[in-house]
Structure 1
Amino acid sequence: MSDPVSSTPGGPFLSVRDLRVHFSTEDGIVKAVDGLSFDLGHGRTLGIVGESGSGKSVTNMALLGLHDSRNTTIDGEALLDGQDLLTATQRELERLRGNKMSMIFQDALASLSPYHTVGRQIGETYRKHTGASRKEARDRAVEMLAKVGIPQPELRVDDYPHQFSGGMRQRAMIAMALVCDPALLIADEPTTALDVTVQAQIMDLLKDLQQETGTSIIFITHDLGVITDIADDVLVMYGGRCVERGTKQEVLRAPQHPYTWGLLGSMPSLDHPVDVPLSPIPGAPPSLLNPPTGCRFHPRCAFIEQVGNGLCADAQPPLEVVDGRGAACHLTPAQRVEFFADFAGIQTN
């Protein structure tokens, strides 16, 4: 059965099925991603949210073919416009990376070379995939810096990364990622190290560029506030698995999984009274070297008694998806509605 996050004419642009990414270590096998499926429609933004270690970045590094094959086992299927990324050769992936699909990394200063000008780094990506001359590549770099809002781009193109502010470096990374007009853009927490004002500017920039180019975006974050601003669809990951998915409105307004409730409860909001304390999720994320049996969230879940019979610890709940909406939880649909109503009441009282 097809289970898209979002339906688009002609089918999804990116279709991932039963993705598994396991790492071999001296201590054993780390099941970083363990059976993940999702779709991404043309021109839409999928927000992937979860705590550190949930498998968000590992998933997208696998799509780009950036894991070390010597200690990594990757299974499943990932079709980008019909081409399986997981069976592609390194040469095929090199042709795709920076061209048809690109990634914006979290730490722009670490991702940019300190030895080359920003313009040269943007231009080299363009030259590699188009065969442009040095002058054409420089002109394209100036054009892209202007497009992402860098003032005086014809001058700043010859500056080095350390001469840019944090927000400007992130803009330069976006310019580099978009220089070849990719159809898929993966943004790995691109606003984490930036102040709130710059974060908002970067988010507006991504939305404007997407509207202009029609690029499909995967936006990775641990911040549901960011998801509210940019995503069309949301996939919530925990312990290497998807626990909930749907449209932004469905997941954020009527979440069906206790982990999503916990994420919302730990997020400050201007709508809540100032004297209402945040409700952090107790405990810590599971070890993916030796994950819990059954539902991986059950050691931290406040609702296992409502399910009863030890089911949460014994059986992995299936992710039942209908029209792109689903949650992997043993609570009945009626219980989910009841308990979320209680949770929402606590948050507003």
Structure 2
Amino acid sequence: MTTLTKPEDAPAPAGSDAFLSVRDLHVRFSTEDGVVKAVDGLSFDLERGTTLGIVGESGSGKSVTNLTILGLHNPLTTTIEGEIVLDGKELITATEAELERLRGNKMAMIFQDALTALSPYHSVGRQIGEPFRKHTGASKREARERAIEMLEKVGIPHAQRRVDDYPHQFSGGMRQRVMIAMSLVCNPDLLIADEPTTALDVTVQAQILDLLKDLQQEFGSAIIMITHDLGVVANMADDLLVMYAGRAVERGTVREVLKSPQHPYTWGLLGSMPRLTADVDEPLTPIPGAPPSLLNPPSGCPFHPRCGFRGEVEGSDRCVDIRPELPEGRGAACHLTLDQKSRIFTETIRPRLG
């Protein structure tokens, strides 16, 4: 097989030292009912070879953020402000032609539902080979050989034969492997995995996560892992970002956030998970209420309508009137003091978690 390399990227202006830097990102959608504030002032960094987990309920802005990085929103209905710099290249102001050169080549995404993300009209080999041909100038034969190579790499048996099969001929776990092969065919520097293990049984989930870790070690990719499952980020991620109502409410290393969470929302997420030591009949503890409408988000702290610890904050209306800021580095956007957070977690939350 002919060895092909990616075309060299043009020199980019100097930016953040981080491989991926997102600063004060705002994403708004215009609808008939009003303006949806899907992402509201989000900032984070990601280094090469590391994994960032992003967790939160549906509607918290996780997927919107990452689709913005890829430039996949409709420009006619979307307003984007802030800064996204990938390896020194500013993405928000990039042209569509520039983004097309980056998508699939320098950055790629594993979508949540492989059956809908894959075309039913083309074989998996053609779909895997298409971005390889586009970004490297490979021939059809070379693209087919590369597709077989990638299918073997992600653990598809009999890749020489199955390269000509269609998505409906694969199981859910195998389709997800095909999606991973397509995402990694050009060795991207940034891989975004949006709920890559949804609807898969636990055995296949573990295989997919192990595969992503092995491929990250081989290619040195930076990974953003979007998930509802804190068990997945505990196994995969180096750092963790907790999102709520389009904002980051807590961040730190995975160990810091899961061992000593500081935000009441994070406490709620951990408390709603089943525990191995719990009685089989013990009910889960859900977070009260529902996520807010992003057409008209709450004032102050967005979590205050659902928070059971507002009474601990000095000043009865502070949570309602003042938006808490997320500090740089380890921390949480909450008006509770560090001493209060430590005491509440130790006395109230930790005993519930077991």
TM category, shorter: over 0.9
Mapping of residues 275-290 of structure 1, within 5 Å? 276-290=282-296
Q: Does the 8 A contact of 1:272 with 1:347 survive in 2?
A: no
Query: Which of 92, 109, 117 is the aligned partner of 2:98?
Result: 92
Q: Give 2:251's aligned residue.
A: 245
CA distance in 1, matches of 2:349, 2:141: 59
Q: Which amino acid in 1 is paired with 2:237?
A: A
Query: Which of 30, 33, 38 is the aligned partner of 1:27?
Result: 33
Q: Give 1:201's aligned residue.
A: 207
CA distance in 2, matches of 1:346, 1:197: 28
CA distance in 2, matches of 1:114, 1:234: 35
Percent of aligned pairs with the same residue?
72
CA distance in 2, matches of 1:222, 1:312: 26
Give CA-to-partner distance per residue, 1:96-152, whole Å, 9 cap, x none.
000000000000010111111000110111000000000000000000000000001
The answer to whether the aligner puts 1:336 opposite 2:316 as a matched pair is no
Give CA-to-partner distance per residue, 1:232-286, whole Å, 9 cap, x none.
1000000000000000000000000000000000011224454543211000000
Deviation of residue 347 (structure 1)? Answer: 2.6
Q: Which amino acid in 1 is paired with 2:90?
A: D
Q: Give 1:4's aligned residue.
A: none
The answer to whether the aligner puts 1:122 opposite 2:125 as a matched pair is no
Paired residue secondary structure (1:320): coil
Deviation of residue 225 (structure 1)? Answer: 1.1
Q: Does the 8 A contact of 1:23 with 1:30 survive in 2?
A: yes
> Structure 1 segments of 4 or more deviating over 6 A?
none
* Runs of at least 5 residues in structure 1 that lack an aligned partner in the other structure: 1-9
Query: Which of 15, 18, 22 is the aligned partner of 1:12?
Result: 18
The answer to whether the aligner puts 1:162 opposite 2:173 as a matched pair is no
Q: Give 1:269's aligned residue.
A: 275
The answer to whether the aligner puts 1:300 opposite 2:306 as a matched pair is yes
Paired residue secondary structure (2:18): coil
Q: Does the 8 A contact of 2:54 with 2:242 survive in 1?
A: yes
Deviation of residue 309 (structure 1)? Answer: 2.1
Paired residue secondary structure (2:266): helix
Query: Which of 220, 228, 235 is the aligned partner of 1:229?
Result: 235
Q: Give 1:7's aligned residue.
A: none
Q: Which amino acid in 1 is paired with 2:45?
A: D
Paired residue secondary structure (2:298): coil
* Runs of at least 5 residues in structure 2 that lack an aligned partner in the other structure: 1-15
Deviation of residue 288 (structure 1)? Answer: 0.2
Q: Which amino acid in 1 is paired with 2:231?
A: G
Mapping of residues 21-170 of structure 1, within 5 Å? 21-170=27-176
Query: Which of 321, 330, 343 is the aligned partner of 1:325?
Result: 330
Q: Does the 8 A contact of 2:275 with 2:353 survive in 1?
A: no
Query: Which of 310, 315, 320 is the aligned partner of 1:313?
Result: 320
TM-score, length basis structure 2: 0.94
Q: Does the 8 A contact of 2:34 with 2:295 survive in 1?
A: yes
Paired residue secondary structure (1:181): coil
Q: Does the 8 A contact of 2:271 with 2:352 survive in 1?
A: no
Q: Which amino acid in 2 is paired with 1:319?
A: L
Paired residue secondary structure (2:53): strand
Q: Does the 8 A contact of 2:270 with 2:353 survive in 1?
A: no
Q: Which amino acid in 1 is paired with 2:58?
A: S
CA distance in 2, matches of 1:253, 1:285: 25
Q: Which amino acid in 2 is paired with 1:328?
A: A
CA distance in 2, matches of 1:228, 1:347: 16
Count of matched residue positions in the alignment of Structure 1 and Structure 2? 337
Q: Which amino acid in 1 is paired with 2:327?
A: E
Q: Which amino acid in 1 is paired with 2:323?
A: Q
CA distance in 2, matches of 1:275, 1:211: 41
CA distance in 1, matches of 2:77, 2:309: 38
Deviation of residue 27 (structure 1)? Answer: 1.2
